[in-house]
Amino acid sequence: MDNFKKIRTVCRSCHGGCGVIVHVKNDKVIKVEGDPKSPISHGTMCSKGLAITQLVYHPDRIIYPMKKKGNNWQRISWEEALDTITKKFREVIKNYGPEAIIIGQGTGRDYESHFSRFGNLLGTPNLLTAGHMCYLSRVGASLITCGRHPVCDYVNNPKCIILWACNPLWTNPDEYKGVNFWHAYEKDAKLIVIDPRKGFLAKKADYWLQLRPGTDAALALGFFRVIIEEELYDKEFVTHFIHGWDDFVERVMKDYPLNRVEKITWIDQELIQNAARLYATTKPAGIHWGVPTEQNINCTDFTRTAIGLMAATGNLDVPGGNVFYQPPPVRRISEFSANSALPPEQKKKRLGGNQYKLADRMTIITPKCAWDAILNEKPYPVKAGYLVGTNPVVSRANANEVYKALENLDFLAVSDFFLTPTAELADIFLPAGTWLEQDHVSENWKYHGYIIARQKAVEIGECWQDHKIFMELGKKLGQKWWNNVEDSLNWLLEPSGITWDEFKKIGYLQGDMTYYKYKEKGFSTPTRKVELYSTILEKWGFDPLPKYKEIPESPISTPDLAKKYPYILNAGLRTPTYFHSENRMIPWLREIRPDPIVEIHPKTARKHEIREGDWVWIESPRGRVKQRAKLNSGIDPKVIVAEHGWWYPEVKSSDHGWKTSNINLLTDNSYESMDPVMGATNLRVLLCNIIRCEDE
């Protein structure tokens, strides 16, 4: 008789959170489907989640530990793999100190708790994540502005929605699922879309604001100019709950007249006026913003200004506005991570910590500081690394420098599913379990008020879930951990009064939600108000008021360079098939998107004799790559929009063709281009030129 069962769990093929029912027959997953009982995704799934079986059972997936021997890989035991890493790390710690080891992860994969704890107990302050330019950057700016990360409250049906540089139907990012936005939109919400590219949602919008890439902070200040001039702000809230309003108004009125904002953003000032009026006068209203606003030099100031818009219009912590969801009563990552175990003298050694104060406060580093420490041994040598679920050779700016740095490490261990271009540089490879192969209290780091049970459905080969890898490697290094993953989850859940076994049956917990909390408690900032004038930034020696700063490499900042590279490169176009550098080996998904796409305006294409489907060289001062042309009249003729994350798993050499189409060979990670307090990398606003590939 066949052994068949259905298991309720939660997906993690992209940002995660979607409820899934897994069909298992004879210990093999045969199908996954959306769980209609999920409080977050309501039975919906995206293409990435639906294709998970093709990843789990892919013939190229590595399902046992390996070590590099010469230029080849050799299968080894877990014992040998962990002992090798332990020996190498102890040598580095003895000779250089624990700060000489970099611990890195990719876009959050729900092991942040165990990742941070491992690094802190190891004694290294150098945790390398995507957070300097993605999500943690907005969380950090939110903490110093209003005390907590505000999330658009789709559940209570905002009457006006601003989608600012995001496409929730394709990306389902972090707290958000596209289905919740769509339900709110279908209830006749007004829609404002701010995006350099006219996509599906821009065509649906009441107002589409086609801004010049990277000028989001200027546009937000332009919104404020309208709201201040026409007195569309909530006077009572401004009087009692905003710190620095008068100073902020003075700056806006002096520095951001609409004719200047129009010149900066390329958006007609009448359109700015109409959109700002709609947002300010339609209650409640929510702002949902995406990572392009964070991936440039104005990262922190945009977030602060956007939160100011929510606050000044009376849309902060109100139903249907931007709200502070309350978590269930469980231990948070900050408690689990054992940050207090990292000695103060080690915290002071965090790379870039003295310069990037906000990143330091979020306990992470910006990658450029790591590469410099490896290559130049300044301010001290970095000799070893452990990278988990990340492919920085493809996903980080200035890819040539990234490759050179990782190649120069004395020792590198990587945990992943496949031999990526980054994994090929490792000395030890550890086979990680997918979300179908793990137990975890999922979503514990997000700001949507839920935790969800992720239940193991199958075991594949010798793969371990990353939580277990951190724990077992940590024990080898003398760290204090629990006996097993389940015990650690019991500790996470302890404040709720339930165990992991009980939580699996319940499925999820939701925090108790209240609104208008500020009326009794104020905001969790030094002044107990929303700080448009930041007392924390002032204390750190930075400008306390938000502003717009021109991108260092742009037609305005570098006009001579623009003569050779006349187009603005907007890198990072999202697709519904790939999650950053993942999934290009998955047949269903690769069939949908077989080649990397660069979008070009038809007028620009004609100028360069480029036709639909032609291969095109994209060139910047840092190199060139090729992608396939797609003509799009919904972008400005001066803008080129390119996909990121491309490598070619089908290329069986050790480089896997990572230099062919990897847009991060063109991007810049110079200190001059980074956000001054967070260290956010500039990925979205660069100069480039294009030329048709004659040999294709």
- E strands, 4-144, are 4-10, 19-25, 28-34, 66-69, 72-75, 101-105, 127-128
Buried b / exposed e along 26-52 (16+ C-beta atoms within 10 A): eeebeebebbeebbbbbebbbbbbbbb
Which DSSP category does 316 fall into? B
> Does 160 score more than 90 pLDDT?
yes
R_g of the chain computed on alpha carbons: 24
Question: Do 222 and 268 contact (CB within 8 A), yes or no?
Answer: no
694 vs 678: which has the higher pLDDT: 678
Alpha helix (H) ranges present in 161-319?
Answer: 168-171, 178-186, 200-204, 216-229, 235-241, 245-255, 258-265, 269-281, 299-312
Tell me the DSSP string of 438-460. Answer: --EEETTTSSSSEEEEE------
**Which residues does 601 contact at the CB level (< 8 Å), separation at least 6?**
631, 632, 633, 635, 636, 637, 639
pLDDT interval class at 695 (50, 70, 90): low
Please provide the CATH number assigned to the domain covering 146-326+525-535.
3.40.228.10
pLDDT of 172 reads 80
**Which residues does 181 contact at the CB level (< 8 Å), separation at least 6?**
154, 161, 163, 168, 169, 288
pLDDT in tens, 506-515: 999 999 999 9
Q: Which is nearest to 152 in space by CA: 126, 125, 189, 124?
A: 189
Q: Which residues sit opposite 194 in a β-bridge?
A: 164, 209
Q: Give the C-alpha separation, 453 to 158, whole Å.
A: 29
> Does 319 score more than 70 pLDDT?
yes
pLDDT in tens, 327-358: 999 998 889 999 899 999 999 999 999 999 99
Q: Give the C-alpha separation, 493 to 497, whole Å.
A: 7
**Which residues does 653 contact at the CB level (< 8 Å), separation at least 6?**
none
66-135+331-443+450-510 has CATH 3.40.630.30 classification: no
Q: Give the C-alpha separation, 39 to 10, whole Å.
A: 11
pLDDT in tens, 590-621: 999 999 999 999 999 999 999 999 999 999 99
pLDDT in tens, 167-208: 998 888 888 999 999 999 999 999 999 999 999 999 999 999
Asked whether the bond before 284 is cis by omega within 30 degrees of 0, the reply is yes
Would you mind telling me the total number of residues written for the chain in this entry?
696
**Which residues does 551 contact at the CB level (< 8 Å), separation at least 6?**
214, 296, 297, 557, 673, 682, 685
Question: Do 324 and 157 contact (CB within 8 A), yes or no?
Answer: no
pLDDT of 285 reads 98
Largest distance between two CA atoms of the chain: 78
Residues 13-40: what's their mean pLDDT?
95
Mean pLDDT is lowest, of 102-111, 155-164, 402-411, for: 102-111
Residues 241-257: what's their mean pLDDT?
98
pLDDT interval class at 696 (50, 70, 90): low
Q: Is 10 helix (H, G, I), strand (E, B) or coil?
A: strand
Going from N- to C-terminal start, the domains of the chain cover: 66-135+331-443+450-510, 146-326+525-535, 559-692
Q: Which residues sit opposite 6 in a β-bridge?
A: 23
pLDDT interval class at 2 (50, 70, 90): confident
Q: Give the C-alpha separation, 96 to 99, whole Å.
A: 8
Q: Give the C-alpha separation, 559 to 552, whole Å.
A: 11
Please provide the CATH number assigned to the domain covering 559-692.
2.40.40.20
User: What tokens does 125 get?
Assistant: 């302050």
pLDDT in tens, 294-307: 999 999 999 999 99
> Does 450 score more than 90 pLDDT?
yes
Q: Which is nearest to 34 in space by CA: 17, 53, 58, 18?
A: 18
Q: Give the C-alpha separation, 452 to 444, whole Å.
A: 8
Per-residue CA distances from 240 to 218, 233, 313, 323 (Å): 26, 13, 13, 18
Q: Give the C-alpha separation, 255 to 610, whole Å.
A: 41
